[in-house]
Amino acid sequence: MRWSVNAIVAERGDVMVRKRRLGFGASGRADRVVVVQPACLNAVLPTTVVVPLEVGRSSYGVQSRDVPVSAAEAGADRAHIAIVTLVSSASLDRLEPGAVGRLSAFTLAKIDRVLRIVLGLA
């Protein structure tokens, strides 16, 4: 099976806004994710692998496997946390066109280290 080239090609490390679905849990706020799949796959597959970003985790507390993301990197006015344990795939058509932020190589390397542990690759 071959897919057509996607209109949205996200680069690894880009912070994107995921369109919210209607219904339960749709609060109207922007849902930011960081793309961890290489762009060469994003260009030909209908989905990409992402890690969600959250502003805070007051109800759970920050875990050692969470990675801090600065406000500048997240393209936001507040710092975020990458929740690596919630890694998932997202349909590229659910991402808004254009990155709103970009992770530094240092932050992306931290996410990679935690991903290896979470996925049992370490």
Q: Note the pLDDT of residue 36.
A: 96
CB atoms near residue 14 (< 10 Å): 23
Q: Which domains does the chain have, with CATH numbers?
A: 14-118 (2.30.30.110)
Q: What is the pTM of this model?
A: 0.84
pLDDT digits (tens, 9 = 90+) for 71-94: 999 999 999 999 999 999 999 888
On whether the CB atoms of residues 38 and 96 are closer than 8 A, the answer is: no
| Whole-number Å distance between alpha carbons of 20 and 53 | 14
CB atoms near residue 114 (< 10 Å): 21
Q: Per-residue pLDDT for 34 more than 80? A: yes
- Give how far the C-alpha of residue 51 lies from the chain's centroid of Cα atoms, to the nearest Å: 4
Find the mean pLDDT for residues 82-109.
93
